[in-house]
């Protein structure tokens, strides 16, 4: 965890956001990253997502079972989703979403939005061309040699 915290501090010094993450397997650091949203002009360049990308590349797999993530702050909904998709075994975090909200980050707001039905969220959305899009889902269901994840 100290490494994740150090990464978060260094990120602030280098123009990034105050977040760091480390992925560990069998007690060894596999990957580490800090927040590069403003540095890379990439809203998905959160520390956790960047660390996951590095770990999957290093290990040659999309499945990070057997790994744990240490992050300087409770993961935002995007990062939490990525952690679940990557099958990381456990999450350790220091600051929480209320701490992030206190310094101006939207993590808690987005968590609240996810609890709302789509029609009541601040960001409007609607179902569009569902029948046309269902063809790809049907193709997937019929595919015998798919790699399920």
Catalytic residue flag (residue 48): yes
Please state, in angstroms and rounded to a whole number, the distance separating the CA atoms of residues 61 and 13: 32
Give the global pTM: 0.92
Residue among 48, 68, 74, 115 flagged as catalytic:
48
CA angle in degrees (0–180, nearest 5) for 125-131-134: 95
pLDDT tens digits, one per residue of 13-23: 999 999 999 99
pLDDT tens digits, one per residue of 123-132: 999 999 999 9
């Amino acid at each position: 965890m100290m490494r994740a915290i150090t990464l978060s501090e260094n990120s602030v010094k280098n123009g990034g956001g105050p977040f760091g993450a480390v992925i560990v397997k069998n007690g060894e650091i596999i990957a580490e990253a800090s927040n590069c949203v403003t540095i890379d002009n990439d809203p998905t360049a959160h520390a956790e997502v960047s660390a996951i990308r590095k770990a999957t590349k290093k290990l040659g797999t999309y499945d990070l079972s057997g790994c744990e993530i240490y992050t300087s702050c409770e993961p935002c909904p995007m990062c939490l989703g990525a952690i679940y998709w990557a099958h990381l075994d456990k999450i350790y975090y220091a600051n929480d979403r209320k701490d992030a909200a206190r310094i101006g980050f939207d993590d808690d707001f987005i968590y609240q939005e996810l609890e709302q039905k789509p029609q009541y969220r601040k960001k409007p959305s609607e179902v569009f061309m569902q029948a046309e899009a269902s063809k790809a889902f049907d193709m997937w269901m019929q595919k015998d040699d798919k790699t399920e994840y």
